Amino acid sequence: MDLHLSTAAASDVERAAVDEVLGAPQSGWTGSRERSPTDHRFARGGHDAREQRHLLLPTLHALQARVGWISEGGLNYVSRRLMVPPAEAYGVATFYAMFSTEPRPRSVVHVCDDIACLTAGAQELCRRFEAELGPAGAGSQDTGITWQRSPCLGLCERAPAALVQASGANAHDQAFAPVRDEHVSAFTGGGPWANAETGAGSAPQTKGTRDRERLRVLRRAGAVDPRSLEDYRAHGGYEALRRALELGPEGVVREVKDAKLLGRGGAAFPTGVKWEAVARQPVRPHYFVCNADESEPGTFKDRVVIELDPYSVIEALTIAGYATGSERGYIYLRGEYPLAAERLDHAISETRHRGLLGDDVMGEGFVFDIELRRGAGAYICGEETALFNSLEGKRGEPRNKPPFPVERGLFGKPTGINNVETLVNVLEILRIGGLAYAEIGTPDSTGPRLFCLSGCVERPGLYEVESGITLRDVIDLAGGVREGGSLKAVLLGGAAGSFLTPEDLDLRLTFEDTRAAGLSLGSGVVMVFDESVDLVEIVLRIARFFRDESCGQCVPCRVGTVRQEEALHRLVADRTIGSREDELRLLGEIDRVMTDASICGLGQTAASAVRSAVSRLALFGTGSTS
């Protein structure tokens, strides 16, 4: 393959970073002379190199982490090593927000200004950074630090939040929440911030009490040492996998089907049906993917589970692999979760060392191993087929369906995929039995459910409840509206969800009740706003979020998200095209086109919150925009 590389050469540091991921280049013959392993013009090529295309994202991470940006020379070296055309490699590098193809300071502070952080003073925080460091994106190699505004960092229960993306031989990313004065001083002074408190993993809550006997999915979270496999096993860890091996693959699938477990990522597809479909596919190999790329503004449940109970995710994914006949699993973790990545990496290493992953799991002849892959800042990669493309070293753009992943998913093979919450529910199903699990909650929404409470509540956090609780009761669990304020609105389901009013507080939070009301539980977001919050600012931020996060592959979403934001700004500024009614009618048409014609769920739900703001809150109605 003629790669048509430019003349830019990688530095020794860049080559070393790439070689850490891919291994040293191999020597070989080309033409009439042999090339040395130290000749960096040569790298293993042909089919072997192209088979490593799936390592493109990890190599880009390695370059970014080592030197702070991805240079033309570094990209050339990656292209040569993987036999990827430079244009394709560049297309991948520029797709993700955490990568930079332009020089920038070695430390970048990503300051969240998304909807939860807006309610906690994010705008004032951004003004402080601007006063100290200049406009967002300013800075130089001399100062060593810059800052920029960021979409949701998944730290909503401890807003406002920031992420320091650092580069260098011994540097590592760190998330901070809530950001306090000492953090700002450390950031703007160039560090050090290594010893500053990061506020990791708040303990989960449960209905009416903190008594752990009421917890099921989260019964170990916060009670075990997340770095100790022995402590995990002392608290019942790996009993579910032992039970699975006793039942056999078909028995495990039967228990999951008996439990009537529905996916917790938003689509609510029956988990047992999905697993059975993968298991029955004759094509080999099979893969199973844990989707931990939760990037929905307001969602943080997967992060809390991983940070506090990482071995549960490993055990649950191993059970899923066993039940579906998969020999390899992947955990795709959002790149903004450095602590979660550290704990998962440690847990995978420990379980592999102890024979709980590998060629003979638990001595039962079952082959299954897991790879951890980090995303790089792309909300779209939470969509399953976009995630597959990202894992394969491509731009994270969704695929058309059918074929569905159970037939042709990752690497074109049958693939199962569930999010973290769905998977860890399987541990409880195998502990108490599928039929017993089905008795929890309601007939059509079985089992416990995790809700992410944030915004204007007294005790933001992750709450585990039985399905069927009302919106009023789940807000009461979090202490109600902060400081005794008045409830103005609730955002249910995140940026892709809907605004509700105080009149909706008796809504039961089940799949069937929300569906009947034309709503969605989504990923379990319950974000509360009191009278102090400017809801117009919140809606505009949501519109900007979808405009920025659209992958641009399909016209309805690429154009519609831009036009939606433009129309909202015209309404706010009272500079409408024609009357306000005409502008609102245009918004409705944009909504219908995106919902009906977009390839994936991003475009199909990009107007949901705006639609509810217009219809339920009357934010942009005649005579008022606030």
Across the chain, mean pLDDT equals: 91
Of 37-41, 141-145, 566-570, the range with the highest mean pLDDT is: 566-570
Residue 50 confidence (pLDDT) above 90:
no
CA 151 to chain centroid, in Å, comes to 12
**3-state SS assignment for residue 43:** coil
Give backbone dihedrals phi and psi of 510, rounded to 5 degrees, phi first: -125, 165
* Of 161, 150, 202, 200, residue with least CA distance to 183: 161
Alpha-carbon distance of 496 to 513, in angstroms, equals 18
pLDDT the model gives residue 578: 85
**3-state SS assignment for residue 8:** coil
Give backbone dihedrals phi and psi of 456, rounded to 5 degrees, phi first: -90, 60
pLDDT the model gives residue 192: 56
Residue 202 confidence (pLDDT) above 60:
no
Cite the beta strand spans of 245-353 per DSSP E: 286-292, 326-333
CA angle 385, 415, 264 (to 5 degrees): 70
pLDDT band at 576 (very low <50, low <70, confident <90, very high): confident
What residues contact residue 54 under an 8 Å CB cut-off, 6+ apart?
A: 391, 392, 393, 411
Residue 27 confidence (pLDDT) above 80:
no
| Mean pLDDT to the nearest integer, 284-294 | 97
Query: pLDDT per residue over 350-383, tens digit each?
Result: 999 999 999 999 999 999 999 999 999 999 999 9
41: how many CB neighbours lie within 10 A of its CB? 10
What residues contact residue 374 under an 8 Å CB cut-off, 6+ apart?
A: 57, 58, 61, 332, 333, 334, 335, 341
Q: What is the DSSP letter of 119?
A: T
CB 309 within 8 A of CB 462: no
Give backbone dihedrals phi and psi of 454, rounded to 5 degrees, phi first: -150, 180
Query: pLDDT per residue over 402-450, tens digit each?
Result: 999 999 999 999 999 999 999 999 999 999 999 999 999 999 999 999 9
CB 471 within 8 A of CB 506: yes
Rg of the Cα trace of the chain? Answer: 24
pLDDT band at 503 (very low <50, low <70, confident <90, very high): very high
CA 355 to chain centroid, in Å, comes to 29
Residue 38 confidence (pLDDT) above 50:
no
Alpha-carbon distance of 174 to 197, in angstroms, equals 10
Residue 201 confidence (pLDDT) above 70:
no
Alpha-carbon distance of 465 to 216, in angstroms, equals 9
Distances (CA, A) of 273 to 120, 250, 261, 309, 406: 42, 12, 10, 27, 10
pLDDT band at 37 (very low <50, low <70, confident <90, very high): very low
pLDDT band at 44 (very low <50, low <70, confident <90, very high): very low
Alpha-carbon distance of 80 to 356, in angstroms, equals 37
Alpha-carbon distance of 263 to 28, in angstroms, equals 50
Alpha-carbon distance of 274 to 324, in angstroms, equals 9
CB 214 within 8 A of CB 206: yes
CB 505 within 8 A of CB 472: yes
Give alpha helix (H) positions in 392-534.
420-432, 434-438, 471-477, 511-516
Q: What is the DSSP letter of 265?
A: S
Give alpha helix (H) positions in 354-446.
384-391, 420-432, 434-438
Predicted TM-score of the model (pTM)? 0.94
CB 621 within 8 A of CB 614: yes
CB 380 within 8 A of CB 549: yes
